Amino acid sequence: MTISQHQVLVIGAGVVGLSTALYLRRAGLEVTVLDPLGPAGGASFGNAGMLSPDTATPIAMPGMLRKVPGWLRDPLGPLAVRPSYFPRALPWLLQWVKAGRLQRVLAVSDAMRALHRDTLTCWRELLGDALYRDLIRPSGQVHVWERDDASPTEAVEQQIRDRHGIASQELSADDLRQMFPGIARDITRGLFVPGNGYTVSPQRIVHSLAELFRAAGGTIIAERAMKLIPREGGGWLAMTNLANRNADRVVVAAGAWSAQLLSPLGIRVPLETERGYHAMLFSPSVTPPIPISSKTRAFFMTPMEDGLRIAGTVEIAGLDAPPDERRATILVEHARRLFPELQAGDVRYWMGFRPSTPDSLPILGAASGQNGLYLAFGHGHFGMSGGPPSGRLLARLMTGQSPGIDPAPYDVRRFTH
């Protein structure tokens, strides 16, 4: 058997792998991407499409623990942990709790801000002006609450926005009714974040990265990397389901599956999957003009080019358990709490695997002690925002350019040392 030789192998063709691959290719490297599912076959397919330069709030927050028991009592609430999976998830959950301390949250918010603030700039760099305008709407996003009372995390969220000079505007019930005709009467309070936006198609935007990458001379191969083996004298052997491939350098960007490839190398990362769901309504009777999220029920409604997407919630149940379709169907019920007149029409239900670290920051950069191995995963709830800036950061690090932002907060050693 001949063994193919590659300069750079990128494992995973989601938003993170393809952003990295395209930046690397444009920097002049020979780059090949492996993914058995092709572009956007993972979480990048079905997310809510939020592109959020002005989101710098991690998921674990002070005060949040108080909400968790109530959420867990409701099997269809915003957070569910499958009882049989609980023992496996426990170490990650404990790290998640630790990450929710205020000092850590503020430090994480600094690193999230540094990464996310350039998301629209990076998307424009990657897509070019015409595709950017076709696929991205810098419209702002609206968050709403069902009750008047403040949630325990709100004060810290405002502290984070103030810390980073992020503009936001409180919305009254009247403001909301003007922006979203037909919105329910018990939605009395909202927050407009004007600097954020969304894509009208997560799938098409990631496929566009793939097309641009191919047009720039990159290659995408439908193979699954089964094992990574360091070669004597340098470089890596990737055993795939169909071939053996040698590479000078390998980038692991396999989303929620990244830890599986790394643990045989002794690299143990706290990567859990927060499974999320969407209901895609192809002929909805109501379409909000801009994305609206329910902070009470933890989901987004996004007006996409092929219909209305209702996406969100978190289920901790690992990579193997089948989807719980009730978590997807309930999203339509949740959406009716915002828009009582909503008729769903044709619906597609979907589940995807968010690749999540306990502190909400991705793992980016060289794998310590493993020459030529690079890590780019763990973007959790924010990969559509963090993916392109992560690709730019990693490509700069790999090609000896100035990284532009401090890479230290994303270093894997925060977990392994």
Ligand X SMILES: Cc1cc2nc3c(=O)[nH]c(=O)nc-3n(C[C@H](O)[C@H](O)[C@H](O)COP(=O)(O)OP(=O)(O)OC[C@H]3O[C@@H](n4cnc5c(N)ncnc54)[C@H](O)[C@@H]3O)c2cc1C
Q: For residues 191 and 143, give the distance between their C-alpha atoms in angstroms, rounded to a whole number.
A: 5
Nearest to 271 by CA among 67, 398, 116, 88: 88
**Beta-strand relationship, 31-34 and 347-356:** unpaired
Q: For residues 415 and 369, give the distance between their C-alpha atoms in angstroms, rounded to a whole number.
A: 14
For ligand X, the binding residues in 324-343 under the rule CB under 6 A are none
Q: How far is the CB of 320 from ligand X (least distance, A)?
A: 14
3-state secondary structure of 97: helix
Name the segment binding ligand X (CB under 6 A); options: 76-84, 150-158, 178-186, 348-356.
348-356
Nearest CB to ligand X, comparing residues 188 and 260? 260
Q: Is 236 in the site for ligand X (CB under 6 A)?
A: no
Q: How far is the CB of 207 from ligand X (least distance, A)?
A: 12
Name the segment binding ligand X (CB under 6 A); options: 12-20, 105-113, 322-330, 340-348.
12-20
Nearest to 12 by CA among 262, 357, 257, 319: 257
Q: Is 303 in the site for ligand X (CB under 6 A)?
A: no
For residues 12 and 221, the answer to whether their CB atoms sit within 8 Å is no
Binding mask 30-59 for ligand X (x = CB under 6 A): ----xxxx---xxxx--xxxx---------
Q: How far is the CB of 167 from ligand X (least distance, A)?
A: 19
Q: Is 288 in the site for ligand X (CB under 6 A)?
A: no
Binding mask 360-399 for ligand X (x = CB under 6 A): -----------------x-xxxxxxx-x------------
Q: Is 135 in the site for ligand X (CB under 6 A)?
A: no
Residue 196 per-residue DSSP state: -
Nearest to 317 by CA among 353, 350, 270: 353
Structure tokens at 224: 């699954």
Nearest CB to ligand X, comparing residues 34 and 398? 34
Q: For residues 113 and 59, give the distance between their C-alpha atoms in angstroms, rounded to a whole number.
A: 14
Q: How far is the CB of 355 from ligand X (least distance, A)?
A: 5
Nearest CB to ligand X, comparing residues 254 and 405? 254
Side-chain half-sphere exposure of 38, counting CA atoms within 13 A: 6
Q: Is 123 in the site for ligand X (CB under 6 A)?
A: no
Nearest to 229 by CA among 217, 246, 242: 246
Q: Is 269 in the site for ligand X (CB under 6 A)?
A: no
Binding mask 162-201 for ligand X (x = CB under 6 A): ----------------------------------------
Candidates 270, 284, 303, 352: give the one binding ligand X (CB under 6 A): 352
H/E segment holding residue 174: helix 173-179
Candidates 6, 9, 12, 221: give the one binding ligand X (CB under 6 A): 12
Quote the strand ranges of 265-372, DSSP E: 272-281, 292-294, 299-304, 307-316, 347-356, 363-366
Q: Is 141 in the site for ligand X (CB under 6 A)?
A: no
Candidates 77, 100, 312, 389: give the one binding ligand X (CB under 6 A): 312
Nearest CB to ligand X, comparing residues 37 and 102? 37
For residues 261 and 228, the answer to whether their CB atoms sit within 8 Å is yes
Side-chain half-sphere exposure of 215, counting CA atoms within 13 A: 8
Q: How far is the CB of 186 from ligand X (least distance, A)?
A: 25
Report which residue type is found at 184: A
For residues 43 and 256, the answer to whether their CB atoms sit within 8 Å is yes
Q: Is 309 in the site for ligand X (CB under 6 A)?
A: no
3-state secondary structure of 127: helix
Q: Is 11 in the site for ligand X (CB under 6 A)?
A: yes
Residues that bind ligand X (CB under 6 A): 11-17, 34-37, 41-44, 47-50, 224-225, 253-257, 261, 276-278, 300, 311-312, 352, 354-355, 377, 379-385, 387
